[in-house]
Chain A
Amino acid sequence: MSVATQDVKRAAARPTIAVWKFASCDGCQLSLLDCEDELLAISEAVTIASFTEMSSAVIEGPYDLSLVEGSVTTELDAARIQEIRANSAVLVTIGACATAGGIQGLRNFAADGSYVSTVYAHPEYISSLSTSTPIAAHVKVDFELHGCPIDRNQLVEVLTAYLAGRAPVIPDHTVCEECKARATVCLLVAKGTACLGPVTHAGCGALCPSVDRGCFGCFGPSEAANTASLAGQLLLGGSSETDLVRLFRTFNAGAPAFSKEASIHDARD
C-alpha cells in the first residue's frame, strides 16, 4: 500500500467533527481555537468537517460529533437544529447559551415585543422568537458542557473522551468546593460578599473568589442547588430582593433552579 493510500485511509477513519453557531457571542467555539497547544494535534486526530469560523472547507454530513454553541431564537434556527441533530451521531452543547438560553434569555421575562422596539426602528423587519431556548428544548442532547464561556480544558476532555470511547470526566460539584480545594478564604463568610458559589456548577476553578469577587454563576446551577437557602442567607446579609433577581437572572437565567429563584424574588420586589 502506498503512503498516499494509507493517508487517505487514515483520514477516512478519523471521526468527523462539526461546530455550529446559534445565537451567541462566538466565545465558546473560540475556546477550541484557544487550545493553542492542542489545536494542530486535534486537527490530526479528527477531521474538522464543518467549522465556519475556522475553515472555508465544508464536508457534507452526517457527522460523528457535533458541537453546538448558542440558543434558538428564530424559526429558521428551530428548523436548523433539527437537521443538525438528524445529521449527528453525537451532539454536545457548549456554553450557557446552548445549555440554558444565555443572556439573551432575559427576553423570556420581558413583556412580549418590548425588546425589539427598544433596539430597532423597524420592528417589522425583525424575525425573531419572543423566547431564547436551550438546544435541549428542541432535540436530544448527548452531553452538556456548561459555562459562560466553557473552560477549554473541559472541552479538550470532552473531545479526548469521545475519541477514547469513554464518558467525559467533568466534575459536577460546586464552585464552593473548588474554592475550598484552592484554599481561597470564603468571601460569603469572611466578608459578607454575595456569592453564588454554593449553588453554581464547578468548572471555572473558582476564578472570581480568587480575585476577591463573589461568584456570579457563569456555569449555571449545580446538581440539587439549594438556592432558597442561599437566597435567605444573602437577604440576611443585606442584599435586596432586586439584587437577588439580578444575581440569579444573568447568563443562565433560563436554567430551572436560577429561573425559579429569581421569579420568587421578582414577585416580592
Chain B
Amino acid sequence: MTHGTKGADRVFSVEGLARVEGEGSLHVHVSDGIVTDVALTIFEPPRFFEAMLVGRSYLEAPDITSRICGICPVAYQLSACGAIEDACGIAPDERIEALRRLLYCGEWIQSHALHIYLLHAPDFFGCTDAVELAERDRVAVARGLSLKKVGNHIMEVIGGRAIHPVNVKVGGFYRAPTRAELRALIDPLEQARDDALTTVKWVSSFDFPDVTGDYNFVALLGGDRYPIERGRVGSSGGFDVTLGEYDALVVEDHVARSTALQARINGKPYLTGPLARYALNAGRLPEIARDAARTAGLGSPCANPFKSIVVRAVELVFACDEALRLIAEYEPPEPPAMKLTPRESVGYGATEAPRGLLLHRYALDANGTIVSARIVPPTSQNQLTIEEDLRRVVEEGLQLSDADLTHRCEQAVRNHDPCISCAAHFLDLSVERM
C-alpha cells in the first residue's frame, strides 16, 4: 500500500488486490468528498475460449471450457453439458441429474470453504492470510481445510480428480461410482455438516460494516429444491424466463478498460451469486440450513454484501446436507450416459457456479461441430454491481482513514468472491481523494 500527497490532492493506492481468484485493478476517484469515478479494470490476458471452441466437436465442450477456471471446473462442465444436450433435444435422466448434483455439491463445498476460510475471513481479523489467521485460531483454519478436503474428496470419488474432473461427459458420466464408493463419503460428510454449522456461528459473530445494497438479484429458480444444476432464471425485479430468453436479455458491452465483457439487463447492472440465490430461494433450503440462518440472525433477503460470508456458510450447510441426501438415495445410472445425436440447432445451459450464474450457449451443425459459442461467467455479470458497491462503501466511509477505507474497498470486492480468472488477470486498487 502506498500513500502520497500531490499538492492539495490525496492519492493512495494498493497494487495487487490479493485473495481473489485472478487479477484486475480497481480505481476510485474522490473529489470534494464526492465519488466521481469508480472503475473495476480487468486485465486478464484474453484466452479466447469462444473462438477456440469453434470447429471443435460438441463432445469436447465440457473439457475445454473447464479450463476457464480451476476453481469451478464442474460449473463449466455441467453448463456445457446442459447446453449441448439441449441442442441435441434431450433432457438428462433423473439418476444422471442426481449424480451431477452430488458432484456439484462437492464443488460448492470446496469453493465456499476456500473462500470463507482462506480468502475472506482473514479480512475480519486484520490478517494478511490464513497462515497468519492460523497463528491466532488454528482450530478455525484447520476446520476450513477439513471442509475443503471433504468437498475435494467428493469430486475425486465421482469426477476422478478435484481440479478438471475427467469423468464428466456430454450425456452423463463415463463410469458411475458404486454405492459403496459413495457410502464411504457419509462419515466425512456428517462431520463436514457439523463443521459447516460451526462455520455459520463463527462467521455470524464477525463485525460487519452496516451497508445495504440496492440489488437486482438474478439466480436460477429451484423447483422443489435450492437451485444448483438447472432451473429457469428469475430476478428480484420479477422476471421468470427460460435460458433462451435469458440469453437474449443479457447484453454485454466491451469497454476499453476491461478484457471481461460487462453485462446488463434492460440497461441495468445486476447481481448473481449467494446473495441472489438466497434472496430468491431461501424457502427451498432444507430445515437444517434455514435453522442455521435463523439462529445467525440472517434475514431474507440479505442485502448487506459484507454478510455474504454468512450466506455462503449457510449454503455450505445446505451443500453438505444435500450431498448426504443424494448419497442416501443414490441409484447408479445405467447406462452411465445417455446417447445423443447431434443436429443443426442451438442449445442453452445454465448452472449456479459457487460465485454465481453461469450461462453457456452453443450452435451446432448437423455433424456436431460447434459453429458458435457464448459463455457468460458470473464475474462479468457482477462486475458493474461490484463497482456500485465500491461507490457506496467509499461514500459511506469517507470518515475512515486512507488505510481503513482502502482495506474496506478490498473487502467490498472480495464480498462477491470474484473469479477473475474467468474474467481478469491483474487486480490492483487505487483510491484518489482530491
Among B21, B52, B122, B132, point to the contact of A26 (Cβ < 8 A). Answer: B21
- The answer to whether A37 and B149 have CB atoms under 8 Å apart is yes
- The answer to whether B131 and A149 have CB atoms under 8 Å apart is no
Q: B16 contacts which chain A residues (CB < 8 A)?
A: 52, 58
Which of B51, B57, B63 has the most A CB atoms < 10 Å from its CB?
A: B51
What's the minimum C-beta distance from B155 to chain A, rounded to whole angstroms?
10
Q: B201 contacts which chain A residues (CB < 8 A)?
A: none
Q: B129-156: contact bitstring with A at CB < 8 Å (1 yes, 0 no)? A: 1111010001001100110110010000
CA distance A150 to B52 in the complex (A): 22
The answer to the question of B10 belonging to the interface, with a C-beta cut-off of 8 Å to chain A, is no
Within 8 A of A (CB), among B1-48: 16-23, 44-48
Interface size class of A (residues with CB under 8 A): 35 or more
- The answer to whether B146 and A25 have CB atoms under 8 Å apart is no
Q: Which of B160-168, B204-212, B232-240, B318-326 contacts A (4 or more CB under 8 A)?
A: B160-168
The answer to the question of A40 belonging to the interface, with a C-beta cut-off of 8 Å to chain B, is yes
- The answer to whether A250 and B163 have CB atoms under 8 Å apart is no
The answer to the question of A85 belonging to the interface, with a C-beta cut-off of 8 Å to chain B, is no
CA distance A120 to B17 in the complex (A): 26
Residue of B nearest to A253 (CB): B52
The answer to the question of B69 belonging to the interface, with a C-beta cut-off of 8 Å to chain A, is yes
CA distance A38 to B122 in the complex (A): 20
Residue of A nearest to B369 (CB): A242
What's the minimum C-beta distance from A109 to chain B, rounded to whole angstroms?
10
Decide yes or no: A31 and B256 within 8 Å by CB, A36-B152, A115-B48 being known contacts.
Answer: no
Q: A208 contacts which chain B residues (CB < 8 A)?
A: 160, 166, 174
Q: A107-128: contact bitstring with B at CB < 8 Å (1 yes, 0 no)? A: 1001000111011111001101
Residue of A nearest to B176 (CB): A211
The answer to the question of A255 belonging to the interface, with a C-beta cut-off of 8 Å to chain B, is no
What's the minimum C-beta distance from B281 to chain A, rounded to whole angstroms?
28
The answer to the question of A212 belonging to the interface, with a C-beta cut-off of 8 Å to chain B, is yes
Q: B63 contacts which chain A residues (CB < 8 A)?
A: 216, 250
- The answer to whether B131 and A207 have CB atoms under 8 Å apart is no
- The answer to whether A40 and B131 have CB atoms under 8 Å apart is yes
Residue of B nearest to A107 (CB): B48
Q: A23 contacts which chain B residues (CB < 8 A)?
A: 44-45, 47, 425
Q: A136-177: contact bitstring with B at CB < 8 Å (1 yes, 0 no)? A: 000000000000110000000000000000000000000000
Within 8 A of B (CB), among A167-226: 204, 207-208, 210-213, 216, 218
- The answer to whether A211 and B175 have CB atoms under 8 Å apart is yes
- The answer to whether A114 and B51 have CB atoms under 8 Å apart is yes
Among B21, B23, B163, point to the contact of A149 (Cβ < 8 A). Answer: B163
CA distance A165 to B198 in the complex (A): 42
- The answer to whether A55 and B52 have CB atoms under 8 Å apart is no
Among B54, B57, B71, B118, point to the contact of A246 (Cβ < 8 A). Answer: B57
CA distance A84 to B73 in the complex (A): 29
- The answer to whether A36 and B149 have CB atoms under 8 Å apart is yes
Decide yes or no: A22 and B64 within 8 Å by CB, A36-B145, A54-B129, A118-B51 being known contacts.
Answer: no
The answer to the question of B114 belonging to the interface, with a C-beta cut-off of 8 Å to chain A, is yes
- The answer to whether B18 and A73 have CB atoms under 8 Å apart is no
Q: A33 contacts which chain B residues (CB < 8 A)?
A: 114, 118
Q: A121 contacts which chain B residues (CB < 8 A)?
A: 253-254
CA distance A119 to B131 in the complex (A): 39
Q: B149 contacts which chain A residues (CB < 8 A)?
A: 36-37
Within 8 A of B (CB), among A83-119: 102-104, 106-107, 110, 114-116, 118-119
Decide yes or no: A107 and B129 within 8 Å by CB, A33-B118, A116-B46, A119-B46 being known contacts.
Answer: no
Q: A104 contacts which chain B residues (CB < 8 A)?
A: 47-48, 52
Number of interface residues of B (CB under 8 A): 66
- The answer to whether A213 and B64 have CB atoms under 8 Å apart is no
The answer to the question of B296 belonging to the interface, with a C-beta cut-off of 8 Å to chain A, is no
Q: A54 contacts which chain B residues (CB < 8 A)?
A: 18-19, 118, 129-131
The answer to the question of B351 belonging to the interface, with a C-beta cut-off of 8 Å to chain A, is no
CA distance A15 to B13 in the complex (A): 29
Decide yes or no: A212 and B175 within 8 Å by CB, A40-B134, A110-B51 being known contacts.
Answer: yes
The answer to the question of B392 belonging to the interface, with a C-beta cut-off of 8 Å to chain A, is no
The answer to the question of A56 belonging to the interface, with a C-beta cut-off of 8 Å to chain B, is yes
- The answer to whether B164 and A148 have CB atoms under 8 Å apart is yes
- The answer to whether B164 and A53 have CB atoms under 8 Å apart is no
Which of A33, A128, A218 has the most B CB atoms < 10 Å from its CB?
A: A33
- The answer to whether A57 and B67 have CB atoms under 8 Å apart is no
- The answer to whether A27 and B163 have CB atoms under 8 Å apart is yes
The answer to the question of A43 belonging to the interface, with a C-beta cut-off of 8 Å to chain B, is yes
What's the minimum C-beta distance from A140 to chain B, rounded to whole angstroms?
22
- The answer to whether A102 and B70 have CB atoms under 8 Å apart is no
Q: A56 contacts which chain B residues (CB < 8 A)?
A: 17-19, 122, 128-129, 410
User: Would you mind naming 25 contact pairs between A and B with Cβ atoms under 8 Å apart?
Assistant: A21-B425, A23-B425, A25-B67, A25-B421, A27-B67, A34-B152, A34-B162, A36-B146, A36-B148, A36-B149, A37-B145, A48-B129, A53-B18, A54-B19, A56-B122, A73-B47, A104-B47, A118-B50, A119-B50, A120-B261, A204-B161, A208-B174, A211-B175, A250-B63, A251-B67
Known: A36-B148, A115-B48. 18 other contacts (CB 8 A): A25-B67, A25-B68, A36-B146, A37-B145, A48-B131, A54-B129, A55-B131, A56-B128, A56-B129, A103-B52, A116-B51, A118-B54, A207-B166, A212-B175, A213-B166, A216-B63, A250-B63, A250-B64
